[in-house]
Structure 1
């Protein structure tokens, strides 16, 4: 099995992005699966093109995209991506879409084809906070997850794919307001490794309630 793992470069006012920094710490093989790492630009239009090029070059069985969710306190596999781009801030190319579809001919939403509940459980079993998320936002992270699942739907039906959000790394919150959640980089990387182990071990997701009441 070959797994393509992507992580974004820094964006906004940040000089570092824990997404790709954690990806770089992953071993070259996990549960006998070959790990291929790819940095993705935090740009709405370019991100999808770089992702597709990475898929075409590497021909993976699974694609997992990683992004930063500053303000979250846990590693959060995403369940759903929506067909919407609405940038709170411009991306790294200066583009700031407003209520724009990712794909004009795409469905309203796509669900991850990864065993997301098994991933959450595997991360938690290693003593690392993790929750299942039902919103990937409307910025480049959601865009890339939707674009990935659109590509799978239209061109790569043999591939499974999805997205994981990670918190700020500890160094990023030194000058942020007191109480801003963070996680050390090694713990983030370990959590991602456990999530990938769950992907390799679970062809189907586990049956466990992880819904939200709000």
Structure 2
């Protein structure tokens, strides 16, 4: 089941009568050098590939501004209480779907599309120098690369000290580690939007399979 964050209605139970779980996947809007952001192009196609009657899929396009991240990400966590959130962003350095393991609290000295940087070049949420996802990143990456698919994954520990890392740290703070960040290559380098969307769908399915009945994700450290 697919919903945007503005049209999720009273569709909270599956046909079996069990409460549905909410998952959120975000992509970024355009910014300098990326008038079409490969992350949002993939995320907006995700409903074509992900279909789970027990899950409400909520997708959201986030502007490349620190203020938008600070305002919208906490609200998404509060409103939907998602079991997991996956953020996607574009990277010209990526040659595959690159799974980020962690995010830093400081070092945000690059101006966003509004020409702003965070106060003190630090995320306003949290106090830990580095936060790690509690997703089993190693297991996720292995399962992805074992699939008969041309979409491959790798693992990174440097999310880039810009909006991508900022949204990741913000979400890690609010979700107690129940989130993940995936860097997507530029369109056609090597994946088209549909291929990246299929890859994101596979990532989401694997992450959901990792979840225990009490909705705790395994430690990746």
TM superposition score category, shorter chain reference: 0.7 to 0.9
Could you say which residue in structure 2 is the equivalent of 1:21?
Answer: 41
Could you say which residue in structure 1 is the equivalent of 2:187?
Answer: 169
1:36-88 CA-to-partner distances (Å, cap 9, x unmatched) read: 10111110122121112222222211111111111210101110101124344
1:184 matches 2:202: no
Question: Per the alignment, do residues 30 and 59 of structure 1 end up closer, same or farther by CA in structure 2, a change over 3 Å counting?
Answer: same
**Whole-angstrom distance in 2 between the partners of 1:54 and 1:97:** 20
Aligned length: 192
Secondary structure of 1:162's counterpart equals: strand
Could you say which residue in structure 2 is the equivalent of 1:146?
Answer: 169
What TM-score comes out, normalization by structure 1 length?
0.80
**Unpaired stretches in structure 2, ≥5 consecutive residues:** 1-20, 212-216
Q: CA RMSD in A?
A: 2.4
**Whole-angstrom distance in 1 between the partners of 2:117 and 2:219:** 38
Deviation at 1:126, TM superposition (A): 3.7
After the TM superposition, which residues 122-133 of structure 1 pair with which residues of structure 2 at under 5 Å, given as runs?
A: 122-124=143-145, 125-127=147-149, 128-133=151-156
Asked if the contact 2:27–2:43 (Cα under 8 Å) also holds between the matched residues in 1, the reply is yes
Query: Post-superposition, which runs of at least 4 consecutive aligned residues in structure 1 deviate over 6 A?
Result: none
**Whole-angstrom distance in 2 between the partners of 1:61 and 1:135:** 25
Question: Per the alignment, do residues 104 and 7 of structure 1 end up closer, same or farther by CA in structure 2, a change over 3 Å counting?
Answer: closer
| Residue number among 23, 42, 55 corresponding to 2:77 in the alignment | 55
Could you say which residue in structure 2 is the equivalent of 1:41?
Answer: 63
Deviation at 1:23, TM superposition (A): 0.8
Deviation at 1:184, TM superposition (A): 1.2
**Whole-angstrom distance in 1 between the partners of 2:166 and 2:123:** 6
**Unpaired stretches in structure 1, ≥5 consecutive residues:** 154-158, 171-180
Deviation at 1:138, TM superposition (A): 0.3
Question: Per the alignment, do residues 138 and 161 of structure 1 end up closer, same or farther by CA in structure 2, a change over 3 Å counting?
Answer: same
1:8 matches 2:28: yes
Could you say which residue in structure 2 is the equivalent of 1:156?
Answer: none
Asked if the contact 1:80–1:134 (Cα under 8 Å) also holds between the matched residues in 2, the reply is yes
Could you say which residue in structure 1 is the equivalent of 2:131?
Answer: 110
What TM-score comes out, normalization by structure 2 length?
0.78
| Residue number among 95, 103, 126 corresponding to 1:73 in the alignment | 95
